[in-house]
Amino acid sequence: MVEKTRIIEIYEKEGAFSSVFRKITGQKGSEDYNTSDLSIIRQLLSNEKARLLHTIKIKQPKSIYSLAKILERDFKTVREEIILLKKFGFIELVEEKTGNRITHRPIIAANSVNIIVRI
């Protein structure tokens, strides 16, 4: 299995902190996501996101709906959190067809997250 890492780089610029999210996937290089608002980092590193990622890793739910049921949380909220985590490369959604319905199975896309603070 290829080791996948996400790097969150926080740096001080003219009296304010800015951030860059870097997606490192094996030897293929990296992809940057620039953000100017540190509130996104706070959202990504919340206890609810940690619980969600842990549940995906351990329980391996078949869909976002089943993940919401396991977590005993509202589907809409879980879906929004999944979209945010997917946007920054923490998870991937695998499309699967069951009967006439298409589901999206969340899987972990990163093995580690590194946070670097530059002053």
Query: CATH number, domain at 53?
Result: 1.10.10.10
pLDDT at position 43 is 79
DSSP for residue 36: S
- Which element (helix H / strand E) includes 112? strand 112-118
Number of domains composing the chain: 1
Note down the domain range covering 43.
Answer: 4-118
CB 82 within 8 A of CB 106: yes
Tens digits of pLDDT across the chain (119 residues): 566 777 777 776 677 667 776 665 554 555 655 555 667 777 787 889 889 999 999 999 999 999 999 999 999 999 999 998 888 788 999 999 988 999 999 999 887 777 777 77
Residue 89's pLDDT is: 80
Q: Specify the DSSP element, H or E, that contains 106.
A: strand 101-108
